[in-house]
Amino acid sequence: MKKLILTFILLLSVASVSFGQVWGTTAKHQAGFKTHTEKVYIGLLTQSGTGNPVATVIKNTLGGDVIWTRTSTGNYTGTLVGAFTENKTVVIYSSSIIPSDLGSLKNSGGGRTNDNEVYVLQYKEGLTPMDGITGDTIEIRVYP
């Protein structure tokens, strides 16, 4: 077995190749790093009354700031020109129980409107639009 290992090492040094080239891996791969190519926006949204949502941005690699506006009761738009590619954009919106009415649930969702806009919708039980976002999570991923 020692002879086989020494022969293998000798062959590698003579051929001037690395272990990564032999095994088809790179140093980053060997160290456990993954290369993420998608652009990401992660934040927490809050909103009250008829005001626009305010984002506490955790991570943003979209190349600009998303501007959040309230378009009507329970309907909100995030705008960043040219950022949201068709069939490549994923919006994940997670809302919480209504703090002032713990027996009610909120229905919510989000998606892409066009290349410039994403949307978030929020409804009370019974599909009645409602305002009042309390630190809900928004995640937008745009894949290449």
Eight-class DSSP state of 38:
S
- CA 47/CA 50 separation, integer angstroms: 8
pTM above 0.85, yes or no: no
Q: Is 59 helix (H, G, I), strand (E, B) or coil?
A: strand
- CA 27/CA 29 separation, integer angstroms: 5
For residue 47, list its beta bridge partners. 133
pLDDT in tens, 16-73: 444 444 444 445 455 566 677 999 999 999 999 999 999 999 999 999 999 999 999 9
Domain extents in the chain: 1-34, 39-142
